Structure 1
Amino acid sequence: MAKRRISAKQRRIYRRRRIVAAVLAVVAVVLCWGIVWLLVKGVGAVNYAINKDDINAISRQAAPSPKEVSGVKNCTANDLDLDLSASSATLSLGGSVKFTATIKHHGSASCLIDGSDASRVLTITSGNETIWHSDSCPANSRMLLMTGNDKDIQTLTWNANSTGEQCQQDSALPNVERGTYVAKLSLKGDDKVQSDPVSVVVQ
């Protein structure tokens, strides 16, 4: 059987068809890979969105809490002495007396103390009853770095009145009765840091 002769024109047509088929095959492969890649990325994005809260929660739990880096301790009875003195041992009914409150450092290392009236507290008592105390009203903290032989000296005034449970202006507080009252300076939070008592008589 004689072979069919193919003209040069037909050979060129077949060659072009094979080239086009090869190009289409390459394009199909690329498209398939592109679709697979998009599907993988899409699934990953969905999973990330679903688990985002869990990841954030784990991150928050794993975060270490901040630590104090100052290295300066709070003052204790081993570091401080409190001294208290009165401008007068007697006062008239409805009068006032000034107290000098002194914080003295004697420790071997520096320490911090809140020297405000809300922390270094002046208390007036009569028998077992508390009559007046300097921390009845809020006060801004006054942090002091005590070292060596440092001293902090403040003046506090008692207007011979009686404070209640709520913060009030001194002018709204009732006057105390005649009698003997005892003043003492103390550090809130550490009962061991106290001054010697000072007696005043309201006449």
Structure 2
Amino acid sequence: MSTPRGTRPPTGATPVQGRPADGAGRPTSRTLRVRRVVALVLLAVIVVGVVMLVKAAIAFGTGLLADEPQGKVAPPPPQAVATGGYKKCEVKDLTLGLTVSKASYADGENPSFSLTLTHVGRRPCFVDSSPASLELVVTSGQDRIWSSVDCPPAKKVLLMAPGDAYPQTVDWARVRSAAECPADLPAPGAGDYSAVVASTEVAGLTSAPVVFTLLAPPPPPVETPPVTEAPVDGAVPPVDGAVPPAEGDPAATGETAPADGTAPADGAVPPADGATP
């Protein structure tokens, strides 16, 4: 019996159901190289991301630790500040205010100034807050009268956190000063003066000027001579040391007593002794 034409199975091995033919579905070498490159790139991206996340976490933690003091801890010495990573304050971190206690001062009254150093930055920083670095200058016109840095005290390094304010008072003894503190300088006189404070450590940090007046001493009192009574018309002022006449004495009435045997001035004859008038 012959097999119908078109239905005879092909010669050779018959493929098994579900199994690909030899070489079918196997990745080529080029595909394998591309996959390896993609895997390496993904691994590098993951490593870089992890490193960046670690650095960001460290920076965030450092910022929290830097913001923690808020002015509630004692400022460390300058060496500890430098090793701790704190920076020096800049002009954008600080403001400096100045006020004067009165508009005018009487003779012998010393002017008093109030300085306020305020931190307005975002991170703690350190600054010298002593009069050696916060220079208060008193002038009269173009004449430089006095400066707090001519005879400065010791430095005072201050660690300031955001929002901190440091007020201090500076008194001026109404004297002149110059570099190296020379003695016997002439005292400033009465008149109008102005004062301003500026930092010698932070460039550009200065206050607005204030104006005040030193009053002149009051004039000495005028001595007036003692008041004396004017003499009575016709009366002769007594000689120094003379005793004034008593009441009833003829000299007190301006009349002269008649001498013995002399008739009175009005022509009357006095009665004789024993005679009846």
TM-score, normalised on structure 2? 0.46
Q: Distance in 2 between matches of 1:160 and 1:175?
A: 7
SS in 2 for 1:192: coil
Is 1:185 aligned with 2:197? yes
1:144 alignment partner in structure 2: 158
Change (3 A) 1:96 1:127: same
For residue 191 of structure 1, report the CA deviation from its aligned partner: 4.1
Q: 1:122 touches 1:133 (CA, 8 Å); kept in 2? A: yes
1:197 aligns with 2:186: no
Higher strand share: 1
Q: Who is 2:62 aligned against? A: none
Deviations 1:21-74 (A, max 9, x none): xxxxxxxxxxxxxxxxxxxxxxxxxxxxxxxxxxxxxxxxxxxxxxx5231111
Percent of pairs with identical residues: 33
Q: Which residue of 1 aligns with 2:84?
A: 70
Shift of 1:75: 1.2
2:201 paired with 1:175: no
Which of structures 1 and 2 has the bigger CA Rg?
2
Alignment of 1:102-181 (within 5 A): 102-167=116-181, 174-181=186-193
Check 1:88–1:104 CA distance in 2 against 1; reply closer, same or farther (3 A cut): same
User: What is the Cα deviation at residue 168 of structure 1?
Assistant: 5.5
**Alignment partner of 2:137: what SS?**
strand
What's the RMSD between the two structures over aligned residues?
A: 1.7
Amino acid at match of 2:96: L
Higher RCO, Cα 8 Å, sep 6+: 1
Report which of the two has the higher share of helix: 1
Asked whether the equivalents of residues 137 and 168 of structure 1 are also in contact (C-alpha less than 8 Å), the reply is no
The answer to whether the Cα contact below 8 Å between 2:137 and 2:196 also exists between their aligned partners in 1 is yes
Tell whether 2:56 aligns with 1:79.
no
Q: CA deviation at 1:83?
A: 0.6
Q: Look up the SS of the partner of 1:193 in the other structure.
A: coil
- 3-state DSSP of counterpart to 1:177: coil
Q: Any unmatched runs of 5+ in structure 1?
A: 1-67
CA distance in structure 2 between the aligned counterparts of 1:193 and 1:166, rounded to whole angstroms? 25
Structure 1 residues 189 and 114, CA gap change in structure 2 (3 angstroms): closer
Question: Which amino acid is 1:102 matched to?
Answer: T
Q: What TM-score, normalized to structure 1?
A: 0.61
Shift of 1:141: 1.1
Q: Contact 1:136–1:166 at 8 Å: present in 2 too?
A: yes
Separation in structure 1 between the aligned mates of residue 198 and residue 99 of structure 2, nearest angstrom? 13
For residues 164 and 141 of structure 1, the distance between their equivalents in structure 2, rounded to whole angstroms, comes to 19
Q: How does 1:1-80 map to 2 (within 5 A)?
A: 68-80=82-94
In 1, are the aligned partners of 2:132 and 2:152 still within 8 Å (CA)?
yes
Query: In structure 2, how many angstroms separate the alpha carbons of the residues matched to 1:90 and 1:173?
Result: 23
- Per the TM alignment, residue 104 of structure 1 is displaced from its structure 2 partner at its CA by 0.5
Contact 2:89 2:202 in 1 (8 A): no
Amino acid at match of 1:107: G
Q: Distance in 2 between matches of 1:190 and 1:129?
A: 25
Q: Does 1:98 align with 2:148?
A: no
Which residue type is aligned with residue 174 of structure 2? A
In the alignment, the residues of structure 2 paired with residue 109 and residue 141 of structure 1 have an alpha-carbon distance, to the nearest angstrom, of: 23
Q: Is the 8 A contact 2:147 2:178 kept in 1?
A: no
Query: Post-superposition shift, 1:162?
Result: 1.2
CA contact (8 A) 2:151 2:179 kept: no
